[in-house]
Amino acid sequence: MATADLPHPVAPRARRRMPSPRPVILGIAGILGFLLVWQLLPTIGVVNPAYFPTATATLGELGELVRDVEFWRNVGRTLTAWGIGLLIATVLACVLGAVVGLVPFLRRATHTTVEFLRPIPSVALIPLAVLMFGYQLQAALLIIVFASFWQVFVQVLYGVADVDTVARDTARSYGLGRGARIAHLVFPTALPYLMTGLRLAATVALILSITAEMFIGNPGIGRAIMFAQSAGQWPTVYALVVVTGLLGLIVNIIFRLIERRALRWHQSVRGEEVL
């Protein structure tokens, strides 16, 4: 649920527990406990309070930030880079994934290339991106798209390959044309895989857009973090880090919801999810 999902070798259990308040209470207690420890560490002096502000100092700064229009502009810039990168990666991956996945020859031919390019950490391309594009958005997009593309591409490949053989033969025997087969057979099967890929890609894209802002210098939250750090304003740094965590959570929750909707629809067709 909160982690990468896996194929379950057993049939999904259907019973539901009565929602109890205990997890929520304990959860809040955990958060409060964490905040308490955070507050104490610099106060006692275990860590240097100059570089590790207390929870109250950080949250106070966060309150200031939320009222600052420039902060929201930065959030907007980060999300814009994220959104554009994710969109490009998804479109590319869907098209290429569908084409490669549906043509067995292409699948075999591209296998080694894909397995070779996939593990390359896209942050390795940062120096290249800077050389090619300087500070422009394209530099960040290069990094974002390269990493997110693979997440979606691999999932689409799996999805396209997962078409139920019986259904496919039935379609063929009914004389459905290629287009109709793709629309009615391949697409619905691949859709949940696509949603999984989208969720994974969304997280990766957010991480990389913030990374690009930090180390290439595109405007956004990442760059704001580096500026605050340069100016020695550590409460701002930590406050912004908290913001990035919240952004990550929100993106994750939203895309899990989207994925869940698509999954629910297809529980009968597919029995499992691929990583």
Which residues have C-beta within 8 Å of that of residue 100, sequence separation ≥ 6? Answer: 106, 107, 110, 157
Is 265 a binding residue for another protein by CB under 8 A? The answer is no
CB of 80 to another protein, least distance (A): 17
Phi, psi of 40 (to 5 degrees): -75, -40
Is 6 a binding residue for another protein by CB under 8 A? The answer is yes
Residue span binding another protein (CB under 8 A) among the ranges 85-93, 108-116, 167-175, 176-184? 108-116
Is 169 a binding residue for another protein by CB under 8 A? The answer is no
Q: Of residues 210-239, which lie at the interface with another protein (CB under 8 A)?
A: 210-211, 214-217, 222-223, 225-227, 229-234, 237-238
Dihedral (Cα; 155, 161, 162, 167), 10-degree rounding? 140
CB of 203 to another protein, least distance (A): 8
Is 47 a binding residue for another protein by CB under 8 A? The answer is yes
* 237 touches 246 (CB < 8 A): no
CB of 183 to another protein, least distance (A): 25
C-alpha radius of gyration, the chain, whole number = 23
Q: Of residues 125-164, which lie at the interface with another protein (CB under 8 A)?
A: 125-128, 130-136
Residue span binding another protein (CB under 8 A) among the ranges 50-58, 88-96, 153-161, 184-192? 50-58
CB of 88 to another protein, least distance (A): 19
Bin 45: left if φ > 0, else alpha if -120 < ψ < 50, else beta. Answer: left
252 closest CA partner among 192, 220, 204:
204
Q: Give 176 or 270: the residue with its C-beta nearer to another protein.
A: 270
Q: Give 4 or 14: the residue with its C-beta nearer to another protein.
A: 4
Is 103 a binding residue for another protein by CB under 8 A? The answer is no
Tokens, residue 127:
């120096």
**Residue linked to tokens 């930590």:** 238
**Coil, strand, or helix at residue 48?**
coil
Give CA–CA dist 19/10, Å, rounded.
24
Tokens, residue 50:
């100059």
Is 249 a binding residue for another protein by CB under 8 A? The answer is yes
Is 104 a binding residue for another protein by CB under 8 A? The answer is no
Is 175 a binding residue for another protein by CB under 8 A? The answer is no
From candidates 16, 44, 45, 119, binder to another protein by CB under 8 A: 119
CB of 177 to another protein, least distance (A): 28
Within 10 A of 238 (CB to CB), how many other CB atoms are there?
A: 23
168 closest CA partner among 154, 188, 153, 197:
188
From candidates 14, 18, 22, 177, binder to another protein by CB under 8 A: 22
Give CA–CA dist 49/61, Å, rounded.
15
CB of 149 to another protein, least distance (A): 14
CB of 48 to another protein, least distance (A): 7
